[in-house]
Structure 1
Amino acid sequence: MKRVLTTLLLVLASLTVTHPAQAGVLRIRGADVSSLAKSEAYGGLYRDARGRAGDALRILSDAGLNYIRLKVWVNPADGYNTKARILPIAKRAKARGMKLLVDFHYSDTWADPGKQFKPAAWESLPLDRLAQAVYDHTYDVLAALRRQGTTADMVQVGNEINGGLLWPDGSNSDWPSTARLLNAGYDAVKRVSRATEVVLHLANGGDNGLYRWWFDNAAAHGIRYDVIGLSYYPYWHGTLETFQANLNDVATRYGRPVVVVETAYPFTTEDDDGWPNIIVSAEPYPGYPATPQGQAAMLAKVADIVRQVPDGLGLGLFAWEATWTGVKGNGWDPADPASGNGWENQALFDYADRALPALRALGHS
């Protein structure tokens, strides 16, 4: 009888114990809400799935999201995405128990694989002073967050830095200079909070050759970091299968956790603000139509791929600019108030300002 009970207990244990990468919800179920402060200032409204108006962060939190991402520019023309603008959003998020990823672009405007423009105030600085400027700016923003009791949980030192940052000095045609600048940011983060995780973020999440080349060089040149961040947009960055293969490879090859800091998918092909949408196909990725259901299914699929990363190294994902709805005045160009938003058909709120099914799919991923 004792042997039978022992065998039964072992069988039950085998049924209930799961691999860490497959157990429960993801550690990070997040949304980039960088445009939220400006949207609200220009009259943007947000409603839950039942149509009740309320605080966008409350709606995100109630849907199960536990992280926000906020970008920081140095001196943008419109005055948004600065230290002063992110502090109130961070306080609201932390009050709801959400965590915070700060995304430093080290520019006055968008930084991505095609452009890494220096802030105007830094343009003439030699490398030593440029590294000091990176350190001082990073420290200043993060220390302000800490002082108000909203210490950043994760920090990106650079945004989509496939080709380096702060061109031409930080271009990775000169890896020692790239390393100097990135490590200046790393040191500033850790001086504010040793517990804050530093993310290095590349785009093109399905390009394994890029990631191996980049992070092999990072190792060779002593670049310090804690987490590998990826952008994966399924209509631009390769198949779901190549994305999964790259995610699994870089996590195991470099022994670092991975997080998808940017992903998105359209819920409609319609336009809401008179500015052409970036993605207009009725089925941008095979099998996933540009519908509310297709958007939810794609985010759920990306989340499932992250969950399956070996050894529990898949942390989670962020829907990019989830609250960037078609609000007049909240366009893409900080220097042009007349610019529109080509992204509102990929937000997690529809054209009646109501939370879409993808929001709940992300919150329960």
Structure 2
Amino acid sequence: MPASDAWTQISVTTTVSNGQCTVSLFSDANAGNWASFDDVSFSTSGSGSTIQIRGVDISTLKKSEDRGGVYRDSAGTQRDALAIVRSSGANYGRLKVWVNPADGYNNKARVLTMASRIKGQGMKLLVDFHYSDSWADPGKQNKPAAWASLSFTALRQAVYDHTYDVLNALKAQGTTADMVQVGNEINDGMLWPDGRSSNWANLASLLTAGSNAVKAVSSSTQVMLHLAEGGNNSQHRWWFDQATSRGVPFDVIGVSHYLYWHGSAASLQANINDLASRYGKPIVVAETAYGFTLAQEDGEPNIFNSSLQSAGGYPATAQGQADALRAIFNVVKAVPNGRGLGVFYWEPTWTAVTGNGWDPTNPSSGNGWENQALFDYADRALPGLAVLGTA
């Protein structure tokens, strides 16, 4: 832990053998420095103590399967990937929606198909609206081509109509969304330039349109507002202060937290504890992942490399990946007053399959993510997948 005068909350999990466990608290601080420990508790994880949401984003799965991707359970038996994930403990599936993607995947029709599979496994459904034809994240929030020249009034209506259309179609086929993201990692807003966070009046109007559409389809569906940089408390406070002061309706706060990009588990803990208390909303880590190796399987350079391994604090091994994921779950479980809802692992099935790359306009692109999947290079389930069943 870094030196600090502030209190830092830590939650850890261990396996107890023979009914006995010794807990030691110590500091390796330099001579003359002190570490203070307070409010230490020790509890067993009996039945019913698992976290509410143990989710997976499987948005690339159908394209992987269509291009020949296969998946094996931990015993090496080839099975349906979603069935493997479900039997490992996942209870929620996340699907992104693009308006008119170049490759035809992640559009309304594909989302409907995958939603049926998710619900068929007895899982709940989170729908993630990007309001774009391709990736939307803190660095880019491009309008769909069909919306590019719309006036702001028409753009706001397009947000409502698109949101309502997809969700109503899901409801009509008996797969009503349980939770919906109005935007994806919208730290700097969405639908640039109209909805950038430099114009909060516009952004609030767009977010409200999306939220209203969600509730018009199903009043019980929860609305999530989702930012990246889960350890950045000042940014999250500023953003949600703006949203709440303008009356944007939402039910859940979502954050992305990749340990190698967004800071330590302790920084995530401090931020989401504060957000849960300040806004009275439950918290979901909507995206996280970690690498199990530094080796590559395709020609696309992997995002998770040796420098990110150093930043993340866990080794790039199968056990290191599992430990990193468990650390995120532990943080969410430790949010006071039961406001830590759960965690979604981002793209555990995005293995290296030719034709299933990151660029929907380029069939030859690789994905750069295969070393963060929860299936190894022999397509076998990794220990990290089992964390979903014990978190």
Q: Which of the five TM-score ranges fits, normalised by the shorter chain? A: over 0.9
Following superposition, the deviation at residue 297 of structure 1 comes to 0.4
Q: 1:302 to 1:47 in 2, by over 3 A?
A: same
- The partner residue of 2:383 within 347, 357, 360 is 357
Contact residue 75 and residue 108 of structure 1 kept, 8 A: yes
Give me the identity figure in percent: 63
Q: 1:148 to 1:174 in 2, by over 3 A?
A: same
Contact residue 98 and residue 132 of structure 2 kept, 8 A: yes
- The partner residue of 2:74 within 49, 53, 70 is 49
Q: Which residue of 2 aligns with 1:223?
A: 248
Q: Which residue of 2 aligns with 1:144?
A: 169
Following superposition, the deviation at residue 279 of structure 1 comes to 1.1
Following superposition, the deviation at residue 121 of structure 1 comes to 0.2
User: Helix, strand or coil for the counterpart of 1:167?
Assistant: coil
User: Helix, strand or coil for the counterpart of 2:79?
Assistant: coil
- Do structure 1's residue 105 and structure 2's residue 130 form an aligned pair? yes
Runs of 4+ in 1 over 3 A off after TM superposition: 282-287
User: Helix, strand or coil for the counterpart of 1:31?
Assistant: strand
Residues in 1 aligned to 2:268 and 2:330: alpha-carbon distance in whole angstroms? 12
Alpha-carbon displacement from aligned partner over 1:29-74 (angstroms, at most 9, x marks no partner): 0110000010011001011000111111100110011001000000
- Do structure 1's residue 131 and structure 2's residue 156 form an aligned pair? yes
Contact residue 72 and residue 82 of structure 1 kept, 8 A: yes
- The partner residue of 1:162 within 184, 187, 205 is 187
Letter aligned with residue 152 of structure 2: L
User: Helix, strand or coil for the counterpart of 1:288?
Assistant: coil
Residues in 2 aligned to 1:23 and 1:351: alpha-carbon distance in whole angstroms? 34
Contact residue 284 and residue 290 of structure 1 kept, 8 A: no
Letter aligned with residue 342 of structure 2: G
Letter aligned with residue 333 of structure 2: R
Residues in 1 aligned to 2:310 and 2:338: alpha-carbon distance in whole angstroms? 30
Q: Which residue of 2 aligns with 1:339?
A: 365
Q: How many residues are treated as equivalent by the alignment? A: 348
Q: Which residue of 1 aligns with 2:30?
A: none
- Do structure 1's residue 120 and structure 2's residue 177 form an aligned pair? no
Contact residue 134 and residue 185 of structure 1 kept, 8 A: yes
Residues in 1 aligned to 2:389 and 2:59: alpha-carbon distance in whole angstroms? 18
- The partner residue of 1:69 within 73, 94, 103 is 94
User: Helix, strand or coil for the counterpart of 2:331?
Assistant: helix
Contact residue 261 and residue 312 of structure 2 kept, 8 A: no
Letter aligned with residue 358 of structure 1: G
Residues in 2 aligned to 1:266 and 1:38: alpha-carbon distance in whole angstroms? 22
How do 1:202-221 residues align onto structure 2 when only pairs under 5 Å count? Answer: 202-221=227-246
Query: Mind listing any 5+ residue stretches in structure 2 that lack a counterpart?
Result: 1-42
Residues in 2 aligned to 1:145 and 1:249: alpha-carbon distance in whole angstroms? 35
* TM-score, normalised with respect to structure 1: 0.93
Contact residue 230 and residue 262 of structure 1 kept, 8 A: yes
Residues in 2 aligned to 1:275 and 1:363: alpha-carbon distance in whole angstroms? 32
Contact residue 156 and residue 199 of structure 1 kept, 8 A: yes
- The partner residue of 1:319 within 345, 349, 357 is 345
Contact residue 19 and residue 312 of structure 1 kept, 8 A: no
Alpha-carbon displacement from aligned partner over 1:251-300 (angstroms, at most 9, x marks no partner): 11100000001000000001011211011117344641000000000101
Alpha-carbon displacement from aligned partner over 1:291-313 (angstroms, at most 9, x marks no partner): 00000001011001100001000
Residues in 2 aligned to 1:175 and 1:285: alpha-carbon distance in whole angstroms? 33
Following superposition, the deviation at residue 246 of structure 1 comes to 0.2
- Do structure 1's residue 176 and structure 2's residue 219 form an aligned pair? no
Residues in 1 aligned to 2:148 and 2:169: alpha-carbon distance in whole angstroms? 25
* TM-score, normalised with respect to structure 2: 0.87
- Do structure 1's residue 279 and structure 2's residue 304 form an aligned pair? yes
Q: Which residue of 2 aligns with 1:4?
A: none
- The partner residue of 2:331 within 288, 293, 305 is 305
Alpha-carbon displacement from aligned partner over 1:146-203 (angstroms, at most 9, x marks no partner): 1111100000000000001101111111111101100100011001100100000000
- The partner residue of 2:315 within 289, 296, 303 is 289
